[in-house]
Structure 1
């Protein structure tokens, strides 16, 4: 176990609870959302589905 693994687990836990990506980025004190997304296990298809729901439903 190392600090990186703890931060990654924390970020994924927050994401799993529905916390907004921008808030996760702030909590981890990242300089950008791109850095935060590297920590998360985000499935591309899941992102596409969520965007479709947001824009078309």
Structure 2
């Protein structure tokens, strides 16, 4: 009997699936560590996929 494969999640069109990035700030701290902040995609809130609600509305296709 054939296996059923779930459909692939819809990738967010705003970030193309790269929902979270680390942004380097200028310079390093006193211990020599590179200072970074984390930024999330405002559309998918860091998940990389379009919510099911937007897919049904046609906004995520």
TM-score, with normalisation over the residues of structure 1? 0.24
Greater gyration radius: 2
Structure with higher helix content: 1
Q: What TM-score do the two structures reach when normalised by structure 2?
A: 0.23
Higher strand share: 2
